[in-house]
Amino acid sequence: MKAGYVAIIGRPNSGKSTLLNNLLGQKVSVTSPKPQTTRFSIQAVYKDERGQIIFINTPGVFGKVKDALSKKINPITSQVLGNDVDVVIHLVDHTRDRDFEENKILGIIRTVDKPKILAINKSDIQKPSFLPHYKFMETEYHKTIMISALYKSNLNYLLDSIFELLPEREKIVDDENLPTPALNIDGKTFLAEIVREKAFLFLRKEVPYSLTTKIDAVEEKDDNILYIKGRIITSHDRYKSMIIGAKGRMIKEIGMAARKELETATNKKIFLDLTVEVNPHWFDELL
């Protein structure tokens, strides 16, 4: 059988989390239009009759790093590639022009002596397109594949190509009794990520990169209701008021959206108790 580690790298918002979720057929990585949505590498298992793939989804690589959070996130991709990965997928968004970020990723990839796949995302979008600006990169890779991570176009071909490049090996992890494809995310972390995703989606540009989430308690009540107590933690009082919203409307919207998704994921009734607190140093303590 084939088995190995496959790292997915790319610029912020290139579609890495969407790609991972749709390759696996279920959600393990949160998505939103905001950069820094993925803040740590996520490992998840894909398996079929051909073998086993341990996907590693990495945070987007920022070209210019200014804030303290980005300074913590940016080295993660290089650290992942410095480990013993077997295949690298470089995901690019052809609807965005090449810039310093893409060149920085290419420089990182050139240091890795492993098979590489250039996956050009958003093939479902015709315009705008900067596809000619990426053509020269094809010579750096073993394969180039046009995909749509969102609409699952050519993902079967991508999987075929990965298995072709993986080494012959016994399976890496015992996946028979895994409750979820995710290897390095516990239940509370996954719940916190869902809440953070909904906060990002509702708050959009109002609270840039200034919040995180934490789940403090998960308890199943006698009436089969799952009680979840969590916090949205932000860096300043002015952001706290935005997260809560007028008459508490924003926090209610965030909580309602998170609760609905969690009920679908767990097939249980959810009572989600969310509070908002200020901690200007949360990124030092919680990341």
User: What's the confidence (pLDDT) of residue 70?
Assistant: 46
Q: Tell me the torsion sign for CA atoms 139, 141, 142, 145.
A: negative
> Is this structure's pTM higher than 0.85?
no
pLDDT digits (tens, 9 = 90+) for 73-123: 444 555 656 567 899 999 999 999 988 788 888 888 888 888 999 999 999
User: What's the confidence (pLDDT) of residue 107?
Assistant: 83
E strand intervals along 95-189: 116-121, 143-146
Per the prediction, the chain carries an average pLDDT of 82
User: What's the confidence (pLDDT) of residue 131?
Assistant: 93
Task: Tell whether the model's pLDDT for residue 128 goes beyond 50.
Answer: yes
Mean pLDDT value of segment 194-200: 87
d(CA 228, CA 105): 39
Task: Tell whether the model's pLDDT for residue 214 goes beyond 60.
Answer: yes
Mean pLDDT value of segment 166-172: 90
User: What's the confidence (pLDDT) of residue 63?
Assistant: 46
Mean pLDDT value of segment 163-187: 76
Report how far apart, in Å, the C-alpha atoms of 283 and of each of 69, 72, 224 are.
6, 9, 35
Which domains does the chain show, CATH number per domain?
A: 2-165 (3.40.50.300), 187-286 (3.30.300.20)
Burial class (CB in 10 A: 0-12, 13-18, 19+), 261: middle
Q: Does residue 60 or residue 241 have the better pLDDT?
A: 241
Two tokens at 203? 């708050």
Mean pLDDT value of segment 40-59: 82
Task: Tell whether the model's pLDDT for residue 41 goes beyond 60.
Answer: yes
Two tokens at 97? 């022009």
Interhelix angle 187-203/249-266, nearest 10 degrees: 140
Q: What percent of the chain has pLDDT over 90?
A: 40
